[in-house]
Structure 1
Amino acid sequence: MAVVIFVLVLWYGGLFFQSFFLHRYAAHQVFTMSKTMERITFVLTWVFQGSSYLSAYGYGVMHRMHHAYTDTEKDPHSPSFDANVFAMMWRTKTIYQDINKQRVAVEDRFTKNVPQWKSFDAFASSRFSRLLWITAYILFFVFFVTAWWQWLLLPITFLMAPIHGVIINWFGHIYGYVNYKMKNTSKNLFRFDFLMMGEGYHNNHHKHASSANFGVRWYEIDITYLIIRLLDIFGVIQLKPVTIKK
């Protein structure tokens, strides 16, 4: 039971910081926070994403490119231009690393105000850091596994962030329903997004990219947004006002 709880904590903890910090803050800047809070969130993202830590800068720039070039050849990840999910993952990884290591020229519109902490990212993204987390995960499993099938969960802990990305960027452009007809394949995966904490409302998000709330219909409850609202109420962050056009 401890192993299952551990994996769930990593799943939802890593997912929250990917959605809250990397996606809604770094890429779309739907709210602001102090520099101190930003640094704290960098560290918390590393703690919960662990071996699959993603840089706010690399993610933020790449995600802005995804919105600008959705379902075209310039899209960093699209089922429309990748033969299979593994080909998409490899291309995404390559583009992400090229951006992070500044091996490619990137337009200013994609980099403007994207948070970056180079020294911390260098450590958190290092092979040493990733191997440290992987070792910690293995040791946890060694001490707390109570059934053979629980070992099947171990690879998920290693690749949590890429798995989250695949669910949205591959399946979220193939399966689901749409609230808005658009010139891309984005879809809402679930009526109530219990699995991805609101990230599954992908069609809504592509329509209203500047909105902190990815839910539109009454039943589309965005759990990450509810947490964001609480953080705003307590003054931890400051939500930006946005007008949703129907």
Structure 2
Amino acid sequence: MAILVFFLAHWYLSLFMQSFFQHRYAAHRMFTMSRRWERIFFVLTYLWQGSSFLSPRSYALLHRMHHAYSDTERDPHSPHFSSNAFLMMWKTRTVYHDVLYGRSAAAERFAQGDYPEWTALDEFGNKWYSRVGWGIFYILFYVQFATGWWQYLLLPIHFSMGAVHGAIVNWSGHKYGYQNFDNHDKSRNSLFFDFLTGGELFQNNHHKLPSRVNFGVKWWELDPTYPVIWLLDKLAIIRLKKGNAADVAVVA
């Protein structure tokens, strides 16, 4: 039971920070927050992503490239230019490191917008000893609480949690599902209620309306991250930008 709780907690906490902080805040600036809260969420991103921590700045630039070049050869992670999900993940990793270490001239085109930066934490979170340290922590937790050998098969997912989330979203969200909009790309909505990736699998909606904080646009499309963002706005922890404060269904 402890292993299941730990796995689900890591899955959804890591997923929330990627969707809320790195995607909707860093890449798209759908809302604002104070410097203090930005630093708090920066630390939570590091803690909850652990060994698969992604620099919010690098994530933002990589994601802006994805929108600009969606499903073309210049897209950093289109499933239509990789023969399988693992090769797509490796390509994404390579582009991410080029962006992180300033080797991507293409990414600098998208560096003019605002995004959160914390150089010291970015550098530390991407060091090998930080990633290995988190990996050792996961292993020790399993040694202490695992009740069957098969539970250790979950460890590789812990090690690469952020990459697994990204692979699911980009592979499935650009191959499988339905379309509300013709975006001139292959983006799809894969689930009606995205319990798996917190709303990120409404890719077709998001590519049509990249500034909309609620990724569901039909009344029956449920984005579970949106109510949390709505609550954070009501608590004055963040401030939704004009046009994002109301949840209005869009009729395609």
Q: TM-score range by the shorter chain?
A: over 0.9
CA deviation vs aligned residue, 1:128-147 (integer Å, no higher than 9, x gap): 11111101000000000012
The one-letter code sitting in structure 2 at the alignment partner of 1:237 is I
- Describe how 1:32-51 pairs up with structure 2 within 5 A: 32-51=32-51
Q: What secondary structure does 1:12 align onto?
A: helix
CA–CA distance in 1 between the matches of 2:84 and 2:150? 28
Q: What secondary structure does 2:225 align onto?
A: helix
CA–CA distance in 1 between the matches of 2:133 and 2:159? 11
Shift of 1:182: 2.1
Gaps of 5+ in 1: none
Shift of 1:109: 3.6
CA deviation vs aligned residue, 1:22-81 (integer Å, no higher than 9, x gap): 000000000001111111111100111000001101100000000000011111111122
Match of 2:16 in 1: 16
The one-letter code sitting in structure 1 at the alignment partner of 2:131 is R
Shift of 1:83: 2.4
CA deviation vs aligned residue, 1:134-161 (integer Å, no higher than 9, x gap): 0100000000001222111111111110
Q: Percent identity?
A: 52
CA–CA distance in 2 between the matches of 1:111 and 1:146? 50
Match of 2:196 in 1: 195
CA–CA distance in 2 between the matches of 1:197 and 1:8? 13
Indicate whether 1:185 and 2:164 are aligned: no
> Mean alpha-carbon deviation: is it higher for 76-85 or for 131-140?
76-85
Indicate conservation of the 8 Å contact 2:27/2:60, yes or no.
yes
Match of 1:136 in 2: 137
Match of 2:205 in 1: 204
Shift of 1:111: 4.0
The one-letter code sitting in structure 1 at the alignment partner of 2:67 is H
Indicate conservation of the 8 Å contact 1:51/1:159, yes or no.
yes
**Which TM-score applies when normalising by structure 1?**
0.96
Indicate conservation of the 8 Å contact 2:61/2:110, yes or no.
no
Q: What secondary structure does 1:14 align onto?
A: helix
Match of 1:113 in 2: 114
Match of 2:218 in 1: 217
CA–CA distance in 2 between the matches of 1:135 and 1:17? 22
- Describe how 1:1-246 pairs up with structure 2 within 5 A: 1-105=1-105, 106-242=107-243
CA–CA distance in 2 between the matches of 1:204 and 1:163? 22
Q: CA RMSD in A?
A: 1.4
CA–CA distance in 2 between the matches of 1:147 and 1:199? 32
The one-letter code sitting in structure 2 at the alignment partner of 1:154 is L
CA–CA distance in 2 between the matches of 1:26 and 1:193? 21
Indicate conservation of the 8 Å contact 2:65/2:110, yes or no.
no
Shift of 1:177: 1.2
The one-letter code sitting in structure 1 at the alignment partner of 2:30 is V
Q: What secondary structure does 2:86 align onto?
A: helix
CA deviation vs aligned residue, 1:201-243 (integer Å, no higher than 9, x gap): 1111011000000011112111111100000000000001227
The one-letter code sitting in structure 1 at the alignment partner of 2:233 is D
Q: What secondary structure does 1:86 align onto?
A: helix
Indicate conservation of the 8 Å contact 1:64/1:110, yes or no.
no
Q: What secondary structure does 1:222 align onto?
A: coil
Indicate conservation of the 8 Å contact 1:180/1:207, yes or no.
yes
Gaps of 5+ in 2: none
The one-letter code sitting in structure 1 at the alignment partner of 2:42 is F
**Which TM-score applies when normalising by structure 2?**
0.94
